[in-house]
Chain A
């Protein structure tokens, strides 16, 4: 551990802007919910009504988790149910950035040769990330108490977020030991995060229906922290589960690190072919080699999502049937068909946004390739910049189409009552919106390559619109920022071509300008 203190300071210096931003921002978001709920539902009766509807709305339960009460605090804590996922995301990315990414870049070697203990870097990364998690919890608790909510519940609420950071700092620490590349480590940790989310969704939505699968929530660290139920029961024992998980994962990471050499993962490097197969002889062949892993991983992920959403869709009907009050509401809205339709339409925009993240990630892979010098190697052969960009964009633009189609097909497997065409159409109409976000990434990459990471801002913005938009009845212009707002709501809504064509034209224009920018600039820039 020698030198860990200095390394903590190094991390704080390197992350002096980004770390306070995510820690404080995620801590402050729920304060906005308090004001919104107070404005929207001034009376207890209105709040109780809203809570009763929301607790059984599978779309809401999918996104935010279970709701067991109707007090203001409980509603706010429930509404913030997606924030633990984001906190976990920040935590695992931070830990990997300061462990495996440094190791891969060779910086760890430099540090390791100094008077620094073997575990110092891992310890410093985990400690700093956990400290950021504590900061997030403190900010959140203080903000809630400041808004006049009960102190005990606010403390539990803060703990929910802090523990999410702890747990996924541990996940990141283990993932960083497994592979020799930061990209692989990130994929593993993100898969664990996604699995935790999916398990929670499965358990919670099942609890809304017959409850046969509700145990799934207890397999998920996100499920644990949500079972603190701040402002309701304020149950603290799931916190012990999360703490124990953190301690065990960090200990495992330490053990794994002791057993390996610097720069390598747990799996021994194997020998490969001495010459390239016939397929690897064109820019497209290279792009396929670079993108196929991600395509397969995302396809599996989307297939799982589809299976779960389809299964939940089946229970949506049961819920409506079992609740007279709800049935009345839905009959007024157009019958149970309308209920199921709106469920699938709602799911489709969530799925679309996730597919957009895949599109943006794949587009930005070009920047990675540029920065590592690989692009230079390709462009000094007889491959033009257009061809190089085109073969990569083929996967960035059509990859999302593949995963969306797979999601739709998987949904119809577990929801056989639905019309395959309608379900598939509902997710595939998201594509133009996905392309717009990927187009922004191409634009950034072509025109302002050093700032390529800003391409993540639009998906984040769309997520914000999705999270706070409709339920808080914000102004239409705010909702309009997201291209997903303009996509026809299918099934159920009208399939109008105009928004789809317009979005596609915008995406094409963004992509064309971006690629032209790439042709005109220095590589690498």
Chain B
């Protein structure tokens, strides 16, 4: 599979501050790739390098097969970008900005624009200075999504959107995904959004990649929470390798178990006798928290 974005060992320093410290990011063509990390982790810095706005100090980066710094202008014809905080020219209307950005990118589809205006419920006749944060964000999204491009780079694109509009955003991205030829890099810290949309994800922290893979891959690395009502005492379960946070209250047990220790743990439970069983797969939230805690240790 070809890669739309390949960054290896990316380093970016601002004076004495190291913003990116050997970051790796691999985005395959045609996938929706989640890019996760806490505030200040380096998501926006990475995106700026991909867009040729900043120059990296070390490592290698390729975007759509080209050099994002030297071939910026050519590459930008093939991508669209939505920043986390869209700013508009105060005297231009939303509609004018959408058209302008689309034309500067090499053309936009007026029917697609009309459709998106309708779905996002945006009045394009208002002046830039009068839009709220959420509406400015819609202008950026519509401008990007109306262009027929290979790659969408979205940096926390739904910040400021209400839940209904977030839902519209998800639908639109899922439609793009079904087309199969568009690559999307979605930086976010809204986990439900990433969970719903992304094929694969990369988690970064302090300018370094700490995890990358599919959601399923990552769940293998995590723990399932088991709650059960037992017929007898669960001897030996608490000390079983891979079982954590074991709690026993009369005949009820609650514990977390590593994915690879799931089978022996379940066999133990069956041996004792199970009256009821609830198992919770790890959510992305937990995955996220665990990664960060692991990293802090």
Interface residues of A (CB under 8 A from B): 180-181, 269-277, 280-283, 285-286, 289-290, 372-374, 376-384, 520, 522-524
Contacts and interface: CB of A to CB of B under 8 A. Distances in A.
A149 B109 CA distance: 76
Question: Which of A272, A273, A285, A286 has the largest number of chain B CB atoms within 10 A?
Answer: A272
Contact of A380 (B51, B97, B103, B123): B51
Contact of B76 (A269, A274, A382): A382
- Most chain A CB neighbours (cut-off 10 Å) among B85, B103, B106: B103
B152 to A, nearest CB: 12
A289 B91 contact: yes
Contact of B77 (A270, A286, A290, A382): A382
Contact of B125 (A272, A378, A381): A272
A372 B99 CA distance: 20
A276 B96 contact: yes
Contacts of A276: 95-100, 103
- The 4 closest A-B CB pairs, nearest first, are A276-B99, A381-B104, A272-B93, A373-B87
B54 A281 contact: no
A383 B99 contact: no
B125 A283 contact: no
A359 B93 CA distance: 27
Interface in B27-45: none
Given A283-B104, A384-B73, A274 B48 contact: no
A373 B83 contact: yes
B81 interface: yes
B87 A275 contact: no
B218 to A, nearest CB: 30
19 contacts: A181-B129, A272-B127, A274-B124, A274-B125, A275-B95, A276-B100, A280-B96, A280-B103, A372-B87, A374-B87, A376-B83, A380-B51, A380-B76, A380-B80, A381-B76, A381-B101, A382-B105, A523-B54, A524-B53
A281 B73 contact: no
Nearest to B130: A269
B134 to A, nearest CB: 15
Given A180-B90, A283-B104, A522-B55, 11 more contacts: A273-B95, A273-B96, A275-B98, A275-B110, A276-B95, A276-B99, A276-B103, A373-B86, A377-B86, A381-B104, A382-B104
B271 to A, nearest CB: 61
A274 B130 contact: no
**Which range holds the interface residue count of chain B?**
35 or more
Contacts of B76: 379-383
Nearest to A276: B99
B85 A373 contact: yes
B3 to A, nearest CB: 20
Contact of A382 (B54, B90, B106): B106
A277 B92 CA distance: 11
A81 B119 CA distance: 62
A373 B104 CA distance: 16
Nearest to B73: A384
A272 B96 contact: yes
A313 B18 CA distance: 63
A372 B85 CA distance: 10
A332 B59 CA distance: 76
B243 to A, nearest CB: 50
A430 to B, nearest CB: 31
A275 B96 contact: yes
B95 A377 contact: no
B106 A376 contact: no
A274 B93 contact: yes
B126 interface: yes
Contacts of A281: 99-100, 103-104
B72 interface: yes
B129 A269 contact: yes
A374 B89 contact: yes
A372 B88 CA distance: 9
Interface centre among A271, A276, A281, A374 (most CB of B within 10 A): A276
Contacts of B83: 373, 376-377
A270 B129 CA distance: 11
B216 to A, nearest CB: 33
Contact of B124 (A270, A275, A520): A275
A519 to B, nearest CB: 10
A289 B129 contact: no
A137 to B, nearest CB: 38
A282 B103 contact: yes
B167 interface: no
B62 to A, nearest CB: 17
A269 B104 contact: no
Interface in B59-89: 72-74, 76-77, 79-81, 83, 85-89
Nearest to A289: B92
A523 B53 contact: yes
A378 B96 CA distance: 14
A274 B130 CA distance: 14
A522 B92 contact: no
Interface in B116-154: 123-127, 129-130, 140
A163 to B, nearest CB: 35
* Most chain A C-beta atoms within 10 Å of own C-beta, residue among B73, B100, B127: B100
Contacts of A285: 100
Given A282-B103, A373-B87, A274 B95 contact: yes
Given A380-B76, A382-B74, A382-B105, A271 B126 contact: yes
A378 B95 contact: no
Contacts of B103: 276, 280-282
Contacts of A379: 51-53, 72, 76
Contacts of A374: 87-89
Contacts of A270: 127
